[in-house]
Amino acid sequence: MKSYITEEFRLLAANAMKVAAIPVDFGFEGYGEFIFYRTYSRTRPDGQQENFHDCILRVINGVMSIRKSHYVRNCVEWDETYWQEYATRMAITMIKMHWLPPGRGLWAMGTDYVAKRGAMALYNCAYTSIMSLPDDVEWIMDLLMNGVGVGFAPTRDNELELYEPDPDDERLYVIPDSREGWCESVKLLLQSYADLNQPTMSFDYGKIRPEGLPIAGFGGTASGPEPLKKLHGLIREYCEKYIAYYPHRPTARYDSVRLKADLANAVGCCVIAGNVRRSAEIALGDIHDQTFIDLKNYEKNPEREGIGYMSNNSALLRNPEDFEQLGAIAERVVEKGEPGVVNLINFPFGRMRLGKRDELQADKATGLNPCGEIPLEDKEVCNIAETFPTRCESEEEWLEACEFATFYCTTVSMLPTHRAETNRVVMRNRRIGVGIVDFTGWKSDTGIHKITRYMRNGYRKVVTTARRLAEEAGIPAPIRHTTIKPGGTVPKLAGKTSGIMYPNFEFMIRRTNVAKSHPVSAILIEAGIGYEQHIHEEQTWVFEFPIKCGPAKPVSEISLWEQAVNLALVQREWSDNAVSNTLDFKPAWNLIHDVHFGRHDAALNFCHDHPEPDYKTEKVQEGEDWNVKVYEYDPNHEEGIVEEVLSYLVPITKSIAMLPHTADGVYPQMPESGISEDTYREKREAMKPIDWTQLSGSDGVDTRYCDGDYCKIVPGETHA
C-alpha cells in the first residue's frame, strides 16, 4: 500500500525533553484527564500507554511530517533547524492547552492509518448535494464511515427516473470485509435501479467479520453483517416505492426529495448500528418545499421515525422573499425545535461587518456541515482547530495560539484524501476553521469591548499567517479561515465551556458512558468514581463526575436575546465561515417529569397531584401500561419572541438553530444534572486520586466528528 506521507519529522530528543518538562493542567478537577485517557490515549509502539505528552508529540511529529512531505515533494526548501524550534514552541502551547487540534486530530494524527489512507480521518465536516444516487449516496456512506459529519441536500429532481432491475439477470457481489466493500455494495445496489436493463443485485455477506470481533483501523467491535443487510432491504424498499409513485410526479406522495432523504438517513443509521463509526448528518432543503419541511412530521410520515433522527434539518433561504417564511419557521421551532435556518444569501461573504466586506474571494459554498459552522461546496471537507483564550495569560499568548492553530489546519489541507472529487475542491479552496473555546467565559472575565478588539486582532493574525504559509508552500491561500465549532470532548480536557455556549449549571454531575470491558472502567471504580448500570446498554457503565463550571452564568439565567447578541458579535468580528449555535429559549410549558407507570391508577394519581392551570399532562396508554409526561407553565417564557429573534439574526448571520430549554432531571441518566455546592464538595471529597499509570492496552475511543451536546444525534428507540 502506498504512503501518503513520504517524509518523516521527529522532534529532537532535547526538544522533546523540553516539551515533557511542561506540567499538564487538565480541567474540571480530574474529568478532563479522564476524557483524555478514555478517548485519545493510544498504545505506543513500545506497548506502553500514551500520556498527554506522548500524544502531543505524536500529533506534532505527524503534522510536521505532512508539511515536510509537501515541501520535499514539491522541491520547496525545508530548514530543519527552523522547523525544530517552531515545532517545539507549538508543542509547548499545546501542552498548556492554549490551542488544540480537534479530537480527530488528537486521536488520528501521526498514526499509520493516516499515512496509509490519507487525510480523510482528520477532517471534521463535509457536504454534498445529492444528484446522482449511486455516486453521492456512496460518498456520504464513505465519509460517515470515516467519521466525517456530512451535510446533504436532497435536491428536488422531478425528472429522476428509476427502473426495476431485470429479474432474469442476477449479479452476485461478494462483499469484502472493509469500509470500501460496504460502500461499494450500496453503490452497486443503487446503480441497479438508476439505469435501464441492469441485473438484480444479490450479495454474499460471508466475508464480513462476525459480531464482536475487533475492527481494525478505527477500533471498536464489529456488528456483523445485519445492519448492512437491513440497509440493503431499505434501499430496495425506497427505490421500489419511488418507482410505484413515479408516474404521478411531481405531486407524488413519495417524491425525489423524500427518496434522497430516506437513503441518506438510512445510510447514517447503518453506519451507527454497524459500530464502524459514529457520525451525524444535517439535511438542507428549500424553505418552500413541503416534502422537506414535513420530513420529521411523524404523524404524517410515521415510517420515517426509525431513520429521521439521524439528521438535524435546516431550511435554506435563497432570496429576500424567503424571509417572509420566518413566522412559519418560528412556529415549528417552538413546537418541535426544528428546523434550523440557513441564510445562503450571506454565504459568499466573510464576516458580517456592518456593510463592510472582508477582502476575500467570494465563497461558492452551497451547503453546510451538520453543526452549522462551515459553509461548504459540493464534495468539500474542512478541518478545524480551536484556541483557548481563557487558558492564555495575555493577548500575545492567544495570538501565538491563533498562529499555531492556523499552521495545523493549513497543513492538514496539504495531505490528500482518498477521494479525487474531494481533493479537487480542497486543493482549490484550502478552507480551514480556527475556532474559539469558552467565548462566554472570556466575555465574563474580560468584557465585550476588549474581546471585540482581541477578536479583530486574532482574525488578522490567522489570515496573515495563512497567507504567509501558503505563499511559502506554493499553494493557494485559504478562502475562509475562522469559525466557532460546538466543541465536544476537547474543551473538556481544558475544563472550558464549548464554543459560544453557556454552561448548563454552576455545579453539576457530568455523566459519561464507558464500556464495562474498557480498561478505564476498572481504574475509575478503584478511584471511587460513582457509577451505575446504563439503562439501555447491558455492557455499559455510566460514570458520574462532580464538576464546577464558570465563570459565565448558567444558560437558565441568560435571556434568548443575550445569546442572540453573542452570535451576532462573533459572526461580525471573528468568523468568516459560520458560527455553530443552538440558542436556548424558555418554553411556555417545561417538561418536568417523563414517567412510565405499569398501573392505570398510579398514572391517574400522579396526574391528580399536578392539576391545571399551572401543570398539564399527556397520557398515552399502551396495553395496561401508561406513559405520563408532566409539564409546568412558565409565565416568563420566551416563545413569543422566537420569531422576533429569528428576524433580527437571520439577515446578519449564516446559520441559526434554536431549542427549548430542557428542565433538569427530566430523563434518567441525562449527560448533565445540576447539584448544590455542598453536594459538589461532598462528592469531590469522596473521590480518590486516579492512578492512570495502571492503564494499559487501550487505543482510545475514536469519537464522532463532533460530539457537542447540542449537535449530538440521539437515536430513538427504533433503529434502522
Catalytic annotation, residues: 371, 373
Neighbour-count burial of 420, counting CB atoms closer than 10 A to its CB (0-12 exposed, 13-18 middle, 19+ buried):
exposed
**CA dist 476 → 315, 428, 585 (Å):** 32, 7, 42
Rounded to 5°, the CA angle 529-531-533 comes to: 165
Q: How far apart are alpha carbons 264 and 278 in whole angstroms?
A: 15
Rounded to 5°, the CA angle 283-289-290 comes to: 100
Cell of 572: 461580525
The number of C-alpha atoms within 13 Å of 617 and in the hemisphere containing its C-beta is: 20
Rounded to 5°, the CA angle 496-501-507 comes to: 55
Is the separation of the CB atoms in 562 and 568 below 8 Å?
no
Give the other-Cβ count within 10 Å of 561's Cβ: 15
Q: How far apart are alpha carbons 12 and 289 in whole angstroms?
A: 59
Nearest in space to 655 (alpha carbons), one of 346, 216, 404, 416: 346
The H or E element spanning position 343 is strand 340-343
Give the other-Cβ count within 10 Å of 263's Cβ: 27
Q: How far apart are alpha carbons 568 and 564 in whole angstroms?
A: 6
Beta bridge partners of 69: none
Q: How far apart are the first and last CA of the chain?
A: 35
Nearest in space to 352 (alpha carbons), one of 710, 711, 655, 659: 655
Is the separation of the CB atoms in 475 and 8 below 8 Å?
no
What is the DSSP annotation of 289-309? Answer: -HHHHTTT-TTT-GGGHHHHT
Nearest in space to 710 (alpha carbons), one of 593, 584, 543: 584
Provide the sign of the torsion angle of the four alpha carbons 191, 194, 195, 200, taken in this order. Answer: positive
Cell of 577: 465561515
Q: How far apart are alpha carbons 542 and 534 in whole angstroms?
A: 6
- State the Cα torsion 403-407-408-412 to the nearest 10°: 150
Kindly state the DSSP code that residue 688 receives in the 8-state scheme: P
Give residue 607's Cα distance to chain centre: 39
